[in-house]
Amino acid sequence: MGVLRLQLPTDPRWVNIVEKNIEEILTDHAWCEQKAATNAITIITNNSEHQDLVKDLLALAKEEIDHFEQVHNIIIKRGLKLGRERKDDYVNELYQYMKRSGDGSRVSGLVERLLFSAMIEARSCERFKVLSENIKDEELALFYRELMESEAGHYTTFITYARKYGTGIDVEKRWREWLAFEESIITNYGKGETIHG
């Protein structure tokens, strides 16, 4: 699917599920943004020697927190409530794959974390595109269109740094393996009113 290279597209009928529970999708989305900011900070914490990476991921983390605030503002405006943090089974499956995949070196750990992050951003971007093109709510259609463009930029940031700092690792081969793994699990999702569900 174009630049993101995802192997399986989301069925647009997923939006019909989402539309039945807007409060749930917004709550889940808000927590996705918070987790994305936390993930960027974790990468910075573990790889602080890379000044350019620190600078770019700080900007990314700020943007993710800004997105969290934007989603929260929509929730408030609509008289809804931000529910408790949701478990994300899709991200947890990717996380377990990442944990199994590294060779224990710092370089491998960094590359795996960056590819894990890129994978989440790629699928989130694709889901935002599906929402923007299919949801009947005009405000949310526009909102998800804008976020889709931002998520595509985040995906590019993570992939770029994996290539830059993946010394001795065939990053392109690893990314193809990540894409194949994601294809094997994504068929289990797209059935719930969550961003990855």
pLDDT of residue 2: 65
> DSSP labels for 27-77?
HHHHHHHHHHHHHHHHHHHHTTT-HHHHHHHHHHHHHHHHHHHHHHHHHHH
pTM: 0.96
DSSP letter assigned to residue 194: S
Token pair of 42 as six digits: 């974790």
Q: Is 60 exceeded by the pLDDT of residue 1?
A: no
Average pLDDT, the chain: 95
pLDDT at 96: 97
pLDDT at 163: 97
Q: pLDDT (tens digit, 9 = 90+) per residue, 106-155?
A: 999 999 999 999 999 999 999 999 999 999 999 999 999 999 988 889 99
